């Protein structure tokens, strides 16, 4: 991509034809630049760092904790995560997992 040095807009390519050479032109100002060399630019893109996904056996390993009561063992702390599982105009669903190692009960709050 090339940009206009006068106004900063993206330059467009005008194809060669009827005695004219291939050239760049700016759609908003009178800037024109003939293409004299082969245009090659390589840019290495950095890979995006992946976020942890809530799935599998370790789904709640990285989840935050909150103060809530487990319906099975009445422990006062649980891991939680929120997901949009219904349409966008519905509220998010909260999933909980008891922090008690002996219980590990999972439930959700709609």
Domain boundaries, the chain: 1-43, 44-110
* CA–CA dist 88, 3 (Å, integer): 39
Of 57, 59, 70, 55, give the one whose Cα is nearest residue 108. Answer: 70
Beta bridge partners of residue 82, listed in sequence order: 94
Say whether pLDDT at 101 is over 90.
Answer: no
Is there a binding annotation on residue 7? yes
The conformation of residue 3, written as its DSSP 8-state character, comes to: B
pLDDT tens track for 27-68? 999 999 888 777 677 788 888 887 666 666 666 777 889 999
Lookup result for tokens 């008891």: 98
Is there a binding annotation on residue 70? yes
* CA–CA dist 48, 9 (Å, integer): 28
Is there a binding annotation on residue 99? no
pTM above 0.75, yes or no: no
Is there a binding annotation on residue 33? no
The answer to whether 1-43 and 44-110 have equal CATH topology is: yes
Class of domain 44-110: mainly beta
Fold observed for domain 1-43:
N-terminal domain of TfIIb (2.20.25)
């Amino acid at each position: 991509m090339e940009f206009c040095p006068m106004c900063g807009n993206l330059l467009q390519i005008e194809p060669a034809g009827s005695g004219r050479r291939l050239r760049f032109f700016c759609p908003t100002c009178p800037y024109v630049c003939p293409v004299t060399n082969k245009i090659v630019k390589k840019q290495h893109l950095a890979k995006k760092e992946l976020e942890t996904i809530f799935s599998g056996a370790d789904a709640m390993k990285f989840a935050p904790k909150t103060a809530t009561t487990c319906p099975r063992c009445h422990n006062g702390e649980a891991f939680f995560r929120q997901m949009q599982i219904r349409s966008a105009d519905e509220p998010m669903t909260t999933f909980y997992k008891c922090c008690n190692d002996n219980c590990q009960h999972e439930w959700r709050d709609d």
